[in-house]
Structure 1
């Protein structure tokens, strides 16, 4: 197919050894530079610096929620960063163009919030930290959960349970209290959450967010089917990283053509198979092995629940990648690098000793 196309434009001798879309592949390579920079810089952070970084990211996420709220008050007609995109009046966007990216960002912010909680040994003097107060953590957590629902992203709401469940277990386990009191707290949080949902049901926007699960009709299965066909065409080498938008339409079945251009496969694993071939899938497998081993090491370390909170955020990205393309978003990619860096630090036990240590809030 490619050779025939090149012959028609008089370039039958053209050579594409790396990618069928070299310009897109080069841009994809450049997008990794800030990600590696974030990972390297975060790797060298000390524990009290980690605390400041995570708190800063959570505060920024709260500011994003407030921005999204102001946008929704104007029916998303003002303060929108990407007005030329298909903007829905009932979605919470914030600074993103895609409501799925917005929802996942808030889910990852929730994972960062849980990573802040609890006690760690750090090289600081014990001080009263506002972030260690349970009511602050619960308030911010509820705000982020509500924001996820208002984005109306079904995939983000789905992975929310992974992060929320891990974080709740971690917070309870870290508290020095009796089992009866822990059970009482769990019941209280459950009742408070149910009451909040009941009250918010009166809001049409919140109800619309939860109501999206009533209609599961989607074009994704058709795109996945055609992506498999495209992957088979270029197997085992692949068409080149980031080349999907350029080559997909060749294998798109006529009965699956819809009003919009499918710029992504809406399944990162299928898209990696189509673009990267067997090498891309082997890299994915290697990442999964590293992720599982890191969780095992973190579980045996001193900062178990801090590391698992970060791991839950990484797991959220892994799961949403089955129905979307979270790592194709630069902000999500950089935030994922922070979570991976934090998980790697806790997995290797590199937070155990940094000079003189006293008990303090993280």
Structure 2
């Protein structure tokens, strides 16, 4: 009776604990939904931000309140980098004495104007302060995501993976509908978006394609690493979602996205080639025969076959806009390549303190040459690595390098932790490579939706080493118990 009462009290405690975590799960789900619905544009003047930013601030406060006493060791480095980045935005808005401000690099034209009108006012480091204020407010999105992740506790991993896959599927389905209904469709709900291309939940087709490629790798990695057994519908559903994303990638129209899709397919194939640790009941036979009989082959083979057939049909039907754009204009004719020398010169002129976060659009007018004058304009540099240096200078570059070092060290730790860790490391390296290359020809991480997804991916990466250790420890303890049960007894009856 005492033992039964003890177990009953434990069940009641677990039920109470689960009930206390329900509100944060609801908040996290609503926050992710609003980000997916309203956070696909990087423009500062998108009217959706009037709703999104207050929601992000409220979610940040609630998440911080719920996660204040949690263990932050795994998320310590991402938290420090985000807080320092926020502090750098604040520093750029502090007014400086006139002489100190004039000594900053890149302020020559503004100094001439100030001398001409006799202006001796104190000015901040940022050359466009109101845009830097907006950048400061936008830090609420990654911070709120990190706080909500920490508040979710043990449910954070499953929530993050399911959320990213669900958003990827919704974006792909919406993009396919946009392609079906044409330019006159109201499904392009951002004011500044190309109605001729399917963009999904984003305003920019490149951002949608980069997100789709990263999601394809995540799905493949999850299919390999998901604990067994799973419900019978899980893996077929993952295959359908993967194929839907692939179909959207092929009709998206982004040339860079098409290249990243090929990278995602290659990385997905490598994930299914790497062997996991052998189980206790592993069947005999060669590695090839085991592979052909495994569930991995039953998932991968139809996907590869359908993908090849779809590629061939789309090519014959001339329905791959990215290939059409490649044949219509060479890469050197693209504006992104033509402005690269100007961007490099801007980075050198404003080094080491930068021009201020968010100031690129206005500062670029002073550097624009006749060769790059077109009816449209550059609101971003289309090379996020250079833009970070232009706007944030050496401090921003140092924070970026620190974050990349942390990611690399975590991936190395995963790779050294065994075969399952190598699968996780390859998946993480593939997604990181997609984001690095994508940021080299566009600016996906400047959209609120992509910022939320990036923080969720960082949370997964930070949590994976401990998760794999716990899983391996559980398997070892189970194998010890199983061997103790099956070991034959000695003649005297003792085990």
- TM range, normalised to the smaller chain? 0.7 to 0.9
RMSD: 3.0
Q: 1:51 to 1:115 in 2, by over 3 A?
A: farther
Cross-structure match for 1:130: 233
1:25 pairs, out of 132, 135, 142, with 132
Q: TM-score, normalised by structure 2?
A: 0.64
Cross-structure match for 2:401: 285
Structure with more helix by fraction: 2
In 1, are the aligned partners of 2:254 and 2:322 still within 8 Å (CA)?
A: yes
Q: 1:308 to 1:115 in 2, by over 3 A?
A: same
- How far does the alpha carbon of each residue in 1:329-350 deviate from its partner, in whole angstroms, 9 at most, with x for none? 111111111111111212x424
SS at 2:143 equivalent? helix
1:3 pairs, out of 111, 132, 135, with 111
Rg larger in structure: 2
Aligned-residue offset at 1:11: 6.7
In 1, are the aligned partners of 2:160 and 2:457 still within 8 Å (CA)?
A: no
Cross-structure match for 2:199: 93
For 2:198 and 2:188, how far apart are their aligned partners in 1?
A: 12
Counting only pairs closer than 5 Å after superposition, residues 173-184 of structure 1 correspond to structure 2 as 173-174=274-275, 178-181=286-289, 182=291
Q: 1:15 to 1:81 in 2, by over 3 A?
A: farther
In 2, are the aligned partners of 1:114 and 1:306 still within 8 Å (CA)?
A: no
In 2, are the aligned partners of 1:155 and 1:323 still within 8 Å (CA)?
A: yes
For 1:56 and 1:38, how far apart are their aligned partners in 2?
A: 12
2:119 pairs, out of 12, 35, 51, with 12
- How far does the alpha carbon of each residue in 1:128-176 deviate from its partner, in whole angstroms, 9 at most, with x for none? 2522x2x433332121122112111112222223333223222332567
Q: 1:161 to 1:201 in 2, by over 3 A?
A: closer
For 2:159 and 2:389, how far apart are their aligned partners in 1?
A: 39
SS at 2:145 equivalent? helix
Counting only pairs closer than 5 Å after superposition, residues 218-257 of structure 1 correspond to structure 2 as 218-257=334-373
Displacement over 4 Å in runs of 4+: 43-49, 119-122, 174-178, 183-191, 356-359
SS at 1:353 equivalent? helix
Cross-structure match for 2:185: 78
Aligned-residue offset at 1:265: 1.2
Aligned-residue offset at 1:55: 2.3
For 1:29 and 1:140, how far apart are their aligned partners in 2?
A: 36
SS at 2:207 equivalent? helix
Cross-structure match for 2:325: 212
For 1:341 and 1:74, how far apart are their aligned partners in 2?
A: 37
Aligned-residue offset at 1:300: 2.0
Question: How many pairs align?
Answer: 350
RCO higher in 1 or 2 (8 Å CA, sep ≥ 6)? 1
1:196 pairs, out of 289, 292, 310, with 310
- How far does the alpha carbon of each residue in 1:275-300 deviate from its partner, in whole angstroms, 9 at most, with x for none? 11222222222222222212101112
SS at 1:20 equivalent? coil
Structure 1 window deviating more from structure 2 (13-22 vs 185-194): it is 185-194
Q: TM-score, normalised by structure 1?
A: 0.85
Aligned-residue offset at 1:191: 4.2
In 1, are the aligned partners of 2:342 and 2:367 still within 8 Å (CA)?
A: yes
In 1, are the aligned partners of 2:385 and 2:440 still within 8 Å (CA)?
A: yes
SS at 2:440 equivalent? coil
Q: 1:35 to 1:191 in 2, by over 3 A?
A: same
Cross-structure match for 1:168: 269
Match status 1:156 vs 2:257: yes
Q: Where do 5+ consecutive residues of structure 2 fail to align?
A: 1-108, 477-495
For 1:201 and 1:59, how far apart are their aligned partners in 2?
A: 29
For 2:440 and 2:428, how far apart are their aligned partners in 1?
A: 20
In 2, are the aligned partners of 1:108 and 1:313 still within 8 Å (CA)?
A: yes
Q: 1:289 to 1:66 in 2, by over 3 A?
A: same
For 2:266 and 2:207, how far apart are their aligned partners in 1?
A: 21
1:106 pairs, out of 204, 208, 212, with 212
